[in-house]
């Protein structure tokens, strides 16, 4: 069963008329993880922001986006706002951009949860504390009283994952969630995403240019180039039997980097 179906999605710049997404059609199976890969500017993030209807105002879109059979592209702004967070949750590339820099983190968390649940302030604090502890964040109360700039990128990503745990959305869209992190934080955040799926059984769209992460987390892979989907398939099939030359290039580059890393570390000499 497909939980999300995207039909003939087009996104274009209203000022220049340039088409950024050129009629994409794809689906997300319930309980599965679909990775969208490609170079910067290939249309990965624009595609996912179009699903959430969060692209900049100068970008127009057309096509149908069906969430559990409901065409959410036809919903009003107010109706769509209710879907965001509760049904579809997006975790951004840069944790800092997800939070209001003028407020402590706890204010953002309370406002988000109050939008969807009729919980008391104490209930929100209790649930967030439990979720933050489950993603290995120490001293949740202290973290909620800090401003975003006082926390590392890895900590902010984990706060967003903890918020997703409390919201329990049916689809999580993660837009390059490890790009701004150091190697150790990348590993820890990817492990948290894997645990998140295991715990919630949710569906996931995972945008990344890191094919090592993709191979670890995704069931299916969709490759984008210049706003078009050029190949898709099961993860292992994409890695071992890629058909398109661009996909072969991406995979071979990843394997070459991996081989070089092992040689540098003294494992492949």
Put the strands of the sheet holding 203-207 in their side by side order: 88-91, 171-175, 203-207, 33-37, 220-225, 228-234
pTM above 0.85, yes or no: yes
Res. 88 pLDDT band, cuts 50 70 90:
very high
Q: Tell me the H-state helices in the chain.
A: 44-52, 77-83, 105-116, 121-134, 140-144, 153-167, 183-200, 211-217, 235-241, 245-264
> Each residue of 166-178: pLDDT tens digit?
999 999 999 988 7
Residue 175 to residue 91: CA distance in whole angstroms: 6
> Each residue of 23-70: pLDDT tens digit?
999 999 999 999 999 988 899 999 999 999 999 999 999 999 999 999
What SS3 class is residue 31? coil
Average pLDDT, rounded, for the chain: 89
Structure tokens at 58: 């100068």
Domains and CATH numbers, the chain: 2-264 (3.40.50.300)
**Residue bearing tokens 């570390």:** 265
Residue 229's contacts (CB-CB under 8 Å, 6 or more residues apart) are: 24, 25, 26, 222, 223
Residue 35 to residue 88: CA distance in whole angstroms: 16
More confident residue, 257 or 175: 175
> Each residue of 153-210: pLDDT tens digit?
888 988 988 999 899 999 999 998 877 677 777 788 888 888 888 888 899 999 988 8
Residue 109 to residue 124: CA distance in whole angstroms: 8
Hey, which residues does 34 pair with through a beta bridge?
205, 220
The helix or strand, by DSSP H or E, that contains position 70, with its residue range, turns out to be strand 70-71
């Amino acid at each position: 069963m497909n939980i999300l179906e995207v039909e003939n999605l087009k996104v274009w710049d209203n000022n220049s008329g340039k088409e950024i997404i050129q009629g994409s059609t794809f689906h997300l199976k319930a309980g599965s993880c679909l990775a969208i890969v490609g170079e910067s500017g290939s249309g990965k993030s624009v595609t996912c922001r179009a699903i959430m209807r969060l692209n900049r105002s100068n970008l127009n879109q057309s096509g149908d986006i069906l969430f559990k059979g409901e065409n959410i592209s036809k919903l009003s702004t107010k109706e769509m706002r209710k879907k965001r967070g509760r049904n579809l949750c997006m975790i951004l590339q840069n944790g800092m951009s997800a939070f209001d820099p003028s407020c402590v983190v706890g204010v953002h968390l309370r406002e988000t949860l109050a939008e969807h649940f009729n919980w008391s302030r104490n209930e929100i604090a209790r649930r967030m504390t439990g979720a933050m502890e489950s993603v290995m964040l120490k001293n949740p109360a202290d973290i909620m009283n800090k401003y975003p700039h006082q926390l590392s990128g890895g900590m902010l990503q984990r706060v967003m994952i903890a918020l997703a745990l409390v919201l329990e959305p049916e689809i999580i869209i993660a837009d390059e969630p490890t790009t701004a992190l150091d190697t150790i934080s990348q590993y820890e955040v990817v492990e948290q995403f894997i645990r998140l799926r295991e715990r919630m059984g949710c569906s996931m769209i995972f945008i990344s240019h890191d094919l090592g992460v993709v191979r670890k987390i995704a069931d299916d892979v969709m490759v984008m180039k210049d706003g078009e989907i050029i190949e898709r398939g099961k993860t292992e099939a994409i890695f071992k039997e890629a058909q398109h030359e661009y996909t072969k290039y991406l995979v071979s580059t990843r394997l070459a980097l991996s081989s070089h890393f092992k040689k540098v570390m003294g494992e492949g000499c």
